[in-house]
Amino acid sequence: MRTALLQSSGRPGSIVENLKVLDEAAGRAAAAGAALLAAPEMFLTGYAIGDDIARLAEPADGDSAAAIAETAARHGLAIAYGYPERDGETVYNSAQLISADGTRLANYRKTHLFGCFERDHFTPGGQPVVQAELNGLTVGLMICYDVEFPENVRAHALAGTDLLVVPTAQMHPFQFVAESVVPVRAFENQMYVAYVNRVGQEGEFEFVGLSTLAGPDGIARTRAGRAEQLVFADADPAFLAASREGNPYLKDRRPGLYGSLV
């Protein structure tokens, strides 16, 4: 499945402008044959926008979700994007996957909040594995800091995730996560991992870009630089099956020894 990663911080504070950026990227991605477009963490509103997070937060089925569903259907590709989700008085840092026909397939709430900024503005989610079927692959959702916890990604592996989509707001000086941790997660869990980042200065944060799609062999199929980019790579189910057959990690596990982990 050809996957497009939109490395961009959009226009922080403007949902209208970010929907336009997403629509333009969807058009380019579809023209290049992509079946899935992934956008970064909090792409809908911007990340470092302080109290505007609560003001701009929307329900999972809100107006912006409807607009993105229309964009997905018009261009004929699925879209995954990050946004602040409002559920009553509670605000989550969420990611949603919408199919190529505009159906809302999956909504994930970030389970591991990073730093005081996120803990001040969001409530952590409680469901570690959220999946949907897309073009013959089981697609899982996760957000940024979540992927740095090996237990989180292993839970997806055990649940059968083939492609883990990770909208991200990865900042300096933690670029080693994109460069090293993400390919290792893909290898040790025998899956594809699409890690799509924001880029540039935003408030107090400097986002490092380096979006990547890593394969189950630990090799990056594509890697963006430090500027706004739309990059592409394929998640190949045949290669994934062959890799899983040859790599014994999941088969050689001894769960009875791991009780101390919980």
Per the listing, tokens 């592996």 go with 157
Backbone angles phi and psi of 258, in degrees to 5: -105, 15
Query: Which residue reads 């605000």 in tokens?
Result: 91
**Number of H-type helices and E-type strands within the chain:** 8, 14
Rounded to the nearest angstrom, the gap between the alpha carbon of residue 163 and the centroid of all alpha carbons in its chain is 10
In this structure, which amino acid lies at residue 124?
P
- Are 247 and 190 in contact by the 8 Å Cβ rule? The answer is yes
Alpha helices of the chain — where are they, by DSSP H?
Answer: 15-31, 52-56, 63-75, 115-121, 150-158, 176, 182-189, 237-246
Q: Which residues pair with 85 in a beta bridge?
A: 58, 92
Q: Which of 58, 85, 118, 144 is catalytic?
A: 144
Active site (annotated) includes residue 144: yes
CB-CB neighbours of 9 under 10 Å: 24
**Amino acid at the residue 5:** L
- Spot the catalytic one: 41, 58, 118, 202: 41
Spatial distance between the Cα atoms of 238 and 243, rounded to a whole number of angstroms = 9
Task: Tell me how far apart the alpha carbons of residues 157 and 44 are, in angstroms, rounded to a whole number.
Answer: 28
Q: Is 41 a catalytic residue?
A: yes
Residue from 49, 25, 28, 118 nearest 15 by CA? 49
| Candidate list 85, 110, 118, 202, residue with the active-site label | 110
Q: Mind telling me the catalytic residues? A: 41, 110, 144
